[in-house]
Structure formats: C-alpha cells, structure tokens
Structure 1
Amino acid sequence: MDPRLAQIYDGERRMGDRNTVLRGIKPTDFSHIRKLASQFMARKPTGGSGDNRSSTNISNNPSLALNQKPARRPDPIILLSPSASSLLRMSNAKAFLEGGRYTPPDHSTPPTMLAVSRIIKDMDPNRPIRFILVEGPENFKPEYWNRVVAVFTTGQAWQFKSYKWTNPVELFKHVQGVYLGWRGEQPPESVRAFGHKVLACSVEKWRDPGQPGAEQSRWRDREVVESIWKAVEANMRARGWRKDAAPTSI
C-alpha cells in the first residue's frame, strides 16, 4: 500500500457494528425492561395493525393518561332557605322531597348537606339522579352555580346576599324558585314580586298525629311534591341537563 494512503487511513475514525455503537463492547441485558413494560403492554387492545399503531402512539405520548374514564355528570344542587320561618329545612326536606310527606322541621343540629334521589324519565329512566341539598352557598366554588336547579325561599331578601345573583328577580331568571306555605294563606307580596319563575305551593297545616283525621290531611303532600319536581325538571331540561351532561353556564 502506498505509505501516504496508509497514513490517511490511520487518521480516520473507525466505525463499529451495532453492538459496539449501541451497547459497547459488552452486550447489555435489557430483559428487566420487559417487566416494566408488561403492565402497559397488557392494556394494549388486540386487533389489527391500526389498533397497534394507535396503542403505540398513546404509550409514547405522556400527555395522554392511561385508562381515562369519561367525565361523570355532576349532581344538581337545590338551595333551601336558611330562615327559621321556612317550612322546609334540612331536618325535614328529605322526607318531603323524597318521601312525599310533610313533617315540621325539628330543632336538632341539622346536617350541612343532604342527598335526595329522583327518577327523571326524560333524562335517565333506569337510574335515579342524585340532588344535593344545602342551605347556603358559603362553600361554593364559582362553577357550582351552574349546578343549581332550584332555590326555596320565604321571600326574605337577605337570603340572597351571598348568592351569585343578589337581586332575586335576576336570580329567578336563571334558577327555578319555590315558595312553600300553608294552605289557605297567601304568599308574601315579596314572593309575588319575584316573578312567575317562583312556584308558590302550599301544604295542609300541621296537626298533631294524635288528633282525629290528622293523617288523612296529609294525602295532598305528595301532590304538592310532584308539582315542585315537575317545575324543577322543566327548568333542568331548558338549561341543558342531560343523562350524561350538565350545563356549563346558566
């Protein structure tokens, strides 16, 4: 060989094969990677090459979480009046709205939150919808207001001071209002001034169960409850509540 050419060859960088380039001179055992990857590979759906390509793209993209579950529809919220004069409080709301029977509120320490269930056939005929009952929005996050479907009121304006809409007329443009009073008594003038979106309904005055005919006077309670739910459900449908979705704004 020409001495000059041999000198040039000696100055070249020598290229190795795949073992020396990727693993060095000593072969490396990557079998432990199989154990780490097995939990991900087991979740990969079986199918054609299209399914394999889709799974590969997901596993290679850290921004796509594995086993993502569809978002659950949030529970609608009903606000009760915190007024001591309200006929419906946390202590008797469940028996009335879910059981269809009115009993007067007691003076025990009430829970801060209740849940009642109701089948709404237009939305989900097979599974009851859970409604959350609270007396005030003090612990509300801003987005919770999109879940409010009804507000019970006695007509006292101070109830709305901490609401998103402090003006009751504006409030009841967005939310169904309910006033519950005694049968034979007119709703307060303030309630009538709130507008037609406040449903005024009444129950028979409470009588001691030991009195003759007391229980027979309660047969209309369920009729009143059904009229309340009918108004609430109509408002929900108008606002965009569906089987698997809730409105993003009311």
Structure 2
Amino acid sequence: MDPLSVLREYAIRGELDRVILVGDELRFGSDYSFPSSAVTAYRSKQGGFYTLDALLFFARHHHIKHTDYLQSARQHRLPTVTLPDRKALLDYLLGRTASSDAVSLIPPPPSSAASTVEEYRPDDPSLPLDETPSAAPAAAADDPAAAADIPPAVDYVAMIRASERPLKDRESLLECRNRDFYAVLVASTKREEERQRLELQQRKDGLVAKTRLIGSDDHHRPVAAAYGSAGDDAADAAAPKPKMHLKGSKIGEGVPIILVPSASQTLITIYNVKEFLEDGVFVPTDVKMKAMRGPKPECVTVQKKLSRDRVVAAYEVRDKPSAFKPEDWDRVVAVFVLGKEWQFKDWPFKDHVEIFNKIIGFFVRFEDDSVESAKTVKQWNVKIISISKHKRHQDRTAALEVWDRLEEFMRSRSHA
C-alpha cells in the first residue's frame, strides 16, 4: 500500500500511537515501514505534495491552535500543513470524506518533496530550506556517475511563491470597519437639494425678467406665443403678432398657467407634474411627497425644451384657483381635471362648455382603469391621456401628447 493510504487507515482506527520513528523510517506497527520523508499522494492547494512525516505530525496535533501547531512543527524541523488545507485534509485522514480531489491518482515524482515547505508567517519569515551546492564540479558534466550523485537544484523562488498566503482579499479590502459614511450621504444630499433649489429660482427669475422685457418692448406680442430663444429673433419678427390681452379670447399678460387638482387621488398633481411634463416620467404623488422636504410648493415652473439650453415654452403650474385674481384667470390655458364637478366650484365661467372652450382640459388615467372612472369626463371637451401602471418607458409618449395638444391650443388662441 502507499504511505497515504496506510496513514489514513491508522488514523481512522485511532492507532497513530503505534506509528514510531526508527532512524529515518516510520514503522506502522509490524505491518508497514516507509521513509519518513516519503512523498505522499496528497497535493497541497499551493501545488506541492506533502511528505509522510508532515501528515503524521499534523494528524497527531490537529487539535491544537494552528499557530501553536506551526511553532511545534518548526521545533521538530518538520514541514507544515497550510491553513487552507487543514479542514479538507483532516476530513480525509479521519474518514469523514470517502475521497478527495487533492489525492493524486498518479504517484508524485520524488522531486515533489522539495516543493513542500512551511507556511509563511509575517512574524517569522524564515524557512527551513535545504542547502544547495553553489556549483557542480566541472568534471561532472563529463562523468554521468558523478552527475547522479549531485542533488537536484532547489527552485527557491517557486518554494516561496508556493508558501505565500494572502493576508487580505478583495472583500476584506472593501470592508471599512468602524467607519460610517452616513454623514457623507447627508452632506451630498443637501448639496444636491440646494443646487436644484437655486437652479429653480434662477429659471423662475429668468422667466419673470424675460416676460417683463418682452411686455415692455412689444405690446403686440403674447408671452405664451414666444416660442424659441434669442436665436429665433428673425423668425419671430417675420411671424404675425396678434394683439395682446383680449379678455375672453386671447392669453393674458404674463407666464401662462396650468391648473392641476389639489386632491391626492388624481394622478397628476403639483408634486409630480414637473417630472411628467419635463422628463416624461410618471412618479406617484405619494412617492414625491415622501421625498420632498419642506412645505408644499404654491407654484411650479415647467418648461418644454428642444435641447438642454433651448427652452421653447414655459408655464406656471398651480393648484389653488381660489386665490386667483381676475388677471390670473386670463393666463390660465390648461387644466388637468379630476373628473369631479366640485373641482370647478367658484370658477368665473358659466358652465363646462365655456370652461373647455377657453381652457384645454386633460384627464390622465391608468390604461387598465374601468370605463366608469372616465364616464363623467367623456361628457366634457377634454383630452383623455392614458398611461401604464408599470411600463414607465411609455410615459414620454403620453407627456408629448399633452405638449402637442397644448401647443396646438396655444396657437389657435393666439390667432383667434
């Protein structure tokens, strides 16, 4: 039998105490005898094969701490079993596993014993390496008998690499123990909120300034029809300029107003109208309310853009028409309806026919809602916009439909 199988058989029977060292041989009772440095068929994960004396010493001392085991093995000048090999090797030697992938089916070459070295430890980097002749006699090259007596050269670099054990892996490097990055997250969130607030205020101030400038320079040009940017002055000059602020037919002076319901059961509110119209993404109102800090906004500015730097239209969105002045009603161009009669209570119009003749209406619903939810709305002159409950990539199509209808309505009013 081979040394590994005999050692395993004695370990399973608990008869390792019958294995004694006599000279350079390990005798297993009166049954077997092997050289103590005989190379076994058990291969280390580092690549080399373990010797018989190394496995016997480990089998007898596996119960002590690994550091104590290493120190004891060094004192006896024996090779050691590396930490990654301990559990699998012990399970195999004690018969807990029937086989092991580490056992070579082909007997290891005699030179493999040289590749089994002690485990490297930072606090004790010394390794018990054998002395190697510095050079072979020149005559050995011509004398085969003499060359056979020369021991093979030891590849010290390979031995060192085989004994290396990583102290840190990728996961341990990514771990930041006793460190909390919550403060960094809070600071970053505050900076982003401040940036958005300043950007919103700058856009709003810019719109007010532009409105005043246009109103003072050209009293024949409605603000709502001021599509395009400064680069479109030539086109604007050639376009017809209708008279301004004709109550009841034309748009009043100032930024046009879009009304949304203040009720939470409607899909489009003052909380999520900006994301829907500007970004083409529907975000539920309750989600926006939880994420928003501070009081509910009284007014939100939405813009339609052809590009990041080119705004073609801007509107104010409000949800409290009860606070409107007469001149504010002249600027109302669109309304998102709730589908309830009480939404139009105290509005300065005679009936629904007059409302939706002067103001374009939109009703946003989920596409799989029942027909009953839009039964009342179908009696009004409003555009029904359907969106999906889950397919967010379809939101942009719905938002563009709102913009197209609104722009068509604005053009018709400016030329009325």
TM-score greater than 0.5 by the shorter chain:
yes
Structure 1 unpaired stretches of 5+? 1-67, 207-216, 242-246
**2:322: which partner in 1?**
138
**1:227: which partner in 2?**
401
Distance 1:96 1:163 in 2: 26
Distance 1:219 1:152 in 2: 22
Q: Normalising by structure 1, what TM-score? A: 0.58
Aligned 1:113-152 pairs, distance under 5 A: 113-119=299-305, 127-152=311-336
Root-mean-square deviation (CA, aligned residues, Å) is 2.5
Cα offset, 1:100, TM superposition: 0.4
The 1:127–1:99 alpha-carbon spacing in structure 2 relative to 1, beyond 3 Å, is: closer
Identity value in percent: 30
Structure 2 unpaired stretches of 5+? 1-214, 224-253
Q: What is the CA deviation profile of residues 192-218 of structure 1, one whole-angstrom value per residue up to 9, with x for unaligned ones?
A: 0113xx000111115xxxxxxxxxx11
Cα offset, 1:156, TM superposition: 0.4
Q: Is the 8 A contact 1:160 1:166 kept in 2?
A: no
Distance 1:76 1:172 in 2: 16
**2:29: which partner in 1?**
none
Cα offset, 1:69, TM superposition: 4.0
Distance 1:203 1:112 in 2: 26
**1:101: which partner in 2?**
281
Aligned 1:56-135 pairs, distance under 5 A: 69-70=216-217, 73=223, 74-106=254-286, 107=289, 109-119=295-305, 127-135=311-319
Cα offset, 1:184, TM superposition: 1.9
Cα offset, 1:126, TM superposition: 5.4
Q: Is the 8 A contact 1:155 1:191 kept in 2?
A: yes
Cα offset, 1:95, TM superposition: 0.5
Cα offset, 1:92, TM superposition: 0.7
Residue identity opposite 1:221 in structure 2:
D
Residue 218 of structure 1 pairs with residue 399 of structure 2: no
Rg larger in 1 or in 2?
Answer: 2
Residue identity opposite 2:330 in structure 1:
N
Q: Is the 8 A contact 1:101 1:221 kept in 2?
A: yes
Match 2:343 to one of 135, 154, 159? 159
Q: Is the 8 A contact 1:82 1:159 kept in 2?
A: no
Distance 2:387 2:328 in 1: 30
Q: Is the 8 A contact 2:264 2:285 kept in 1?
A: no
Q: Is the 8 A contact 1:181 1:202 kept in 2?
A: yes
Cα offset, 1:219, TM superposition: 0.9
Cα offset, 1:181, TM superposition: 0.4
**2:374: which partner in 1?**
188
State the 4+ residue runs in structure 1 displaced beyond 4 angstroms. Answer: none
SS at structure 2 position matched to 1:220: helix
Residue identity opposite 1:141 in structure 2:
K
Distance 1:163 1:71 in 2: 31
Distance 1:90 1:227 in 2: 19
Cα offset, 1:71, TM superposition: 5.2
SS at structure 2 position matched to 1:98: helix
Cα offset, 1:132, TM superposition: 0.1
SS at structure 2 position matched to 1:154: coil
Residue identity opposite 1:226 in structure 2:
L
Distance 1:136 1:232 in 2: 21
Distance 1:234 1:184 in 2: 28
Residue identity opposite 2:324 in structure 1:
F
SS at structure 2 position matched to 1:179: strand
Higher relative contact order (CA 8 A, sep 6+): 1
Distance 1:94 1:127 in 2: 14
Distance 2:302 2:400 in 1: 14
Q: What is the CA deviation profile of residues 36-58 of structure 1, one whole-angstrom value per residue up to 9, with x for unaligned ones?
A: xxxxxxxxxxxxxxxxxxxxxxx
Cα offset, 1:189, TM superposition: 1.2
Task: Count residues with an aligned counterpart.
Answer: 160
Cα offset, 1:134, TM superposition: 0.2
Aligned 1:19-34 pairs, distance under 5 A: none
SS at structure 1 position matched to 2:347: coil
